[in-house]
A and B are shown apart, each in its own frame.
Chain A
Amino acid sequence: MKTEELLKKYRARLTKEAILKSLAFGLLIGLSALVVSGFIVWMTGYKNYWISFVVFAVVTAAAFALFYFLKFKPNDYYVARRVDALGLEERVITMKEFQGESDYIFERQREDAASALSKVSETLLKISIPLALLIILPVVFLLGTGTTVLSALSAEGVIRSGGDIIRTVEEERNKRFYEVTYVVEGNGIVIDEEIQIVEAGKNTNPVMAIAEDEWAFMMWSDGYEDPVRFEANVFENMKIIAYFVPASGDSPFQGNGDKSKEGDQAGDRPGQNGKPGPNGMEGEGDGNSESDDANDQPGGNAGGGKYDPANQIIDGQTYYGGDLYNEYNEKAAEALSQDESIDKEMKEYLENYFKIIAE
């Protein structure tokens, strides 16, 4: 009997194994392609998500064919090796290698091999598929179906596409934030949020400096004297100090001949009465010229500082200048009503804000 015939049943068994292995590897490659195509479709937001199934089918079929014909299709040599591994002590591979020899010893060898083969059932050849492959396949399957479902949901508009999400995340990541800190020197407090994290170019929430009994709010470290303030158009970290002074006695911040600097600061302050700081209204004082009212006000402003009717201590209480608020609010409301460049909603919002401040 020829070697091929002797090995026929074993070859059939190993062909099954080869098909299964090729299929498993083909599926692995196909599912990997499904993962990639599903991901790409989801990322790009491409509407024809069924293209992933086509990719999967084509790649699986191609990979199966390649694996079977180039890798796993059993040849006589492989079959002989596998059968020998069943305890035939290299009889079959020797028979296969010397099948063309006609000497007596080779004939005896073939007889010996055939005899040994007759005692070995083909079912003893265990079909083996690598365990790692069996573990990886379900994982890739889940990934493949997952990305395909994502792409389908994205195409149907149920969820956002990956590209959209990435753009949003990118935008979020590109946002910059700054810290604005309000601190107190003297006896008083700052309400409401002393530390504020503000997105670049945005405004802080308003804060108010309130002095304790027998103390008065003097000014902020940038010279701004209104106890209520907020920072507009923030583009850097800021630390702003609220200075409080005793209601009686000398204050290091009160103007005199040697305090021109404070006067300058007051004159340079960016704005007053809760108006946006750097880009707000022009400051009233210039610091270099004498104030018209300076000599009439408590504390004097010989150094060039400006007298502010607010923040006066009357009977031990701080006077914040409510009438000035009202006056400026009215002016602001009037300016607002005449400004055509502000839309209606914004106008309403600002008007409400002025009312709240006035109250």
Chain B
Amino acid sequence: MATEIDILQFSKQCNDIFEQISRDVVGQKEVVEGTIIAMIAGGNVLLEGVPGVGKTRLVRTLGRVFDMPFSRIQFTPDLMPADVTGTNIIVKGEDGNAKFEFQPGPIFSNIVLADEINRATPKTQSALLEAMQEHKVTVMGVTRKLDEPFFVLATQNPIEQDGTYPLPEAQMDRFMFKLIVPNPSLDELMDIVNMTQKTMDEVSDCACTGEQLIQMRATANQIPVAEDVMRYAMTLTSATHNNSEYASEAAKKYVRLGASPRAGQAIISAAKVKALIKGRFNVAYSDVNELAYPVLRHRIKMNFEAIAERVSADDVIGMIIEELSKKYKI
């Protein structure tokens, strides 16, 4: 049951979070907002951008702004699953006998930065699956629960594809958002250079604890969603399938595989947070439409025709939204 205090606290903490992040990250407003929305909604985020646009810096800043244990894993082709999850090692007990003791890997943290996630082998990438979805890790038959809140913030580089392993669909689906980190604008670039000429240190402070973040999530969850809006969001998700009852013309033409039900859940969860961040106590069609891009773009698999015509997932999402907007007279 949300109270007035919860609402005020949500609003204050959001402002604080954005303010602190802006001390270290210049521009990238949509990426920052998307990441915060996903974190409040309890989702993992995949950041995609060319080298040097601030992906890792943003995640490091988030680790500091949210006063929670933060760990970073640099994914490489020789990284092993045990390097992520941890493993049992032989230690000498107090009684002098050797025994197995679990040595937790970097996944045992609240915020995990999986840097250049597509450079690890599928086997190692798969080590994250259970953690990302169920917030649990199973090693040697023993399942251990991860501390809440738990997030994986992964980065990947869309170029330099040699020696990389594209993430499998199952793992892609576990990222709530895929955010495209653009190159900064000229003004932003000047600000970045001016800021880093003074100091390379990151100066942001803690603005939110893990408990507060969980409370924010609980508050946002109570935002009501009208049936019409909910139906629209689910239709949007279904419309990405080329063979569903609600398949859009764009999906029929360009999509090989549509979004999973997780996408529908993600849109609604994230839309509630977005509405509350905007100071609104209900979810609007506009929230759904704006969030459709980060939620759906990595869940839609394009067919050969789309690739041949250079039609991107974002283009298809735009077409679907346009088609549904006419149908729903939005």
Give me the interface of A with B, judged by CB distance under 8 Å. 81, 85, 89-91, 93-95, 97-98, 101, 103-106, 108-109, 112-113
Q: Considering the complex, give the chain A residue whose CB is closest to the CB of B330.
A: A85
Across the interface, B226 reaches (CB within 8 A) one of A85, A90, A101, A104, namely A90
CA distance A93 to B228 in the complex (A): 8
A105-B224, A106-B224, A109-B224 in contact; A94/B282 too (CB < 8 A)? yes
CA distance A97 to B283 in the complex (A): 13
CA distance A90 to B224 in the complex (A): 11
Q: Would you call B224 and A101 a contact (CB within 8 A)?
A: yes
Q: Does B98 contact A (CB under 8 A)?
A: no
CA distance A181 to B225 in the complex (A): 89
Q: How far is the CB of A302 from chain B (nearest CB, A)?
A: 94
A-B contact sample (5 more), CB < 8 A, given A90-B283, A103-B2, A109-B224: A94-B281, A103-B222, A104-B1, A104-B7, A108-B4
Chain B 272-295 residues near chain A, CB threshold 8 A: 280-286
Q: Would you call A109 and B284 a contact (CB within 8 A)?
A: no
Across the interface, B227 reaches (CB within 8 A) one of A97, A104, A105, A109, namely A97
CA distance A90 to B280 in the complex (A): 10
Q: Would you call A112 and B281 a contact (CB within 8 A)?
A: yes
How does the 8 Å CB contact mask read for B214-230 relative to A, with 1 for contact and 0 for none?
A: 00000100111111110
Q: Does B3 contact A (CB under 8 A)?
A: yes
CA distance A109 to B275 in the complex (A): 11
CA distance A302 to B280 in the complex (A): 124
Q: Would you call B224 and A104 a contact (CB within 8 A)?
A: no
Q: Would you call B4 and A93 a contact (CB within 8 A)?
A: no
Give me the interface of B with A, judged by CB distance under 8 Å. 1-4, 7, 219, 222-229, 280-286, 329-330
Q: Would you call A97 and B226 a contact (CB within 8 A)?
A: yes
Residues of chain A lying within 8 A (CB to CB) of residue B228: 81, 90, 93
CA distance A270 to B104 in the complex (A): 128
Interchain residue pairs with CB less than 8 A apart (23) = A81-B228, A89-B284, A90-B226, A90-B228, A90-B282, A91-B280, A93-B228, A93-B229, A94-B224, A94-B225, A94-B282, A94-B283, A97-B226, A97-B227, A104-B1, A104-B4, A104-B7, A105-B224, A105-B281, A108-B7, A109-B224, A109-B282, A112-B281
Residues of chain B lying within 8 A (CB to CB) of residue A104: 1-4, 7
* Smallest CB-CB A-B distances: 7 pairs: A89-B284, A109-B281, A94-B282, A94-B226, A90-B284, A105-B2, A105-B222
Q: Considering the complex, give the chain A residue whose CB is closest to the CB of B1.
A: A103
Residues of chain A lying within 8 A (CB to CB) of residue B225: 94
Across the interface, A112 reaches (CB within 8 A) one of B280, B285, B329, B330, namely B280
Chain B CB within 10 Å — which of A91, A95, A98, A105 has the most?
Answer: A105
Chain B CB within 10 Å — which of A90, A91, A97, A103 has the most?
Answer: A90
The A contact surface, by secondary structure, is helix
CA distance A79 to B145 in the complex (A): 50
CA distance A81 to B286 in the complex (A): 14
Residues of chain B lying within 8 A (CB to CB) of residue A109: 224, 281-282
Q: Would you call B224 and A89 a contact (CB within 8 A)?
A: no
CA distance A98 to B230 in the complex (A): 14
CA distance A340 to B178 in the complex (A): 112
Across the interface, A90 reaches (CB within 8 A) one of B2, B3, B285, B329, namely B285
Residues of chain B lying within 8 A (CB to CB) of residue A108: 4, 7, 281
Q: How far is the CB of B45 from chain A (nearest CB, A)?
A: 25
Q: How far is the CB of A105 from chain B (nearest CB, A)?
A: 5
CA distance A98 to B4 in the complex (A): 18
Q: Would you call B1 and A90 a contact (CB within 8 A)?
A: no
Residues of chain A lying within 8 A (CB to CB) of residue B7: 104-105, 108
CA distance A103 to B4 in the complex (A): 11
Residues of chain A lying within 8 A (CB to CB) of residue B282: 89-91, 94-95, 109, 112-113
Residues of chain A lying within 8 A (CB to CB) of residue B285: 89-90
CA distance A94 to B224 in the complex (A): 7
Q: Would you call B227 and A89 a contact (CB within 8 A)?
A: no
Residues of chain A lying within 8 A (CB to CB) of residue B280: 89, 91, 112
Q: How far is the CB of B253 from chain A (nearest CB, A)?
A: 30
Q: Considering the complex, give the chain A residue whose CB is closest to the CB of B222.
A: A105
Q: Considering the complex, give the chain A residue whose CB is closest to the CB of B282.
A: A94
Q: Would you call A93 and B223 a contact (CB within 8 A)?
A: no
CA distance A81 to B225 in the complex (A): 14
Across the interface, B224 reaches (CB within 8 A) one of A81, A85, A97, namely A97
Residues of chain A lying within 8 A (CB to CB) of residue B284: 89-91
Q: How far is the CB of B80 from chain A (nearest CB, A)?
A: 47
Residues of chain A lying within 8 A (CB to CB) of residue B226: 90, 93-94, 97-98
Chain A CB within 10 Å — which of B229, B282, B286 has the most?
Answer: B282
Residues of chain A lying within 8 A (CB to CB) of residue B222: 103, 105
CA distance A128 to B148 in the complex (A): 53
Residues of chain B lying within 8 A (CB to CB) of residue A113: 282
Q: Would you call B224 and A98 a contact (CB within 8 A)?
A: yes
Residues of chain B lying within 8 A (CB to CB) of residue A85: 329-330
Q: Considering the complex, give the chain B residue whose CB is closest to the CB of A113.
A: B282
Residues of chain A lying within 8 A (CB to CB) of residue B219: 105
Q: How far is the CB of A117 from chain B (nearest CB, A)?
A: 13
Q: How far is the CB of B232 from chain A (nearest CB, A)?
A: 10
CA distance A98 to B224 in the complex (A): 8
CA distance A89 to B282 in the complex (A): 8
CA distance A103 to B223 in the complex (A): 11
Q: Considering the complex, give the chain A residue whose CB is closest to the CB of B276.
A: A105
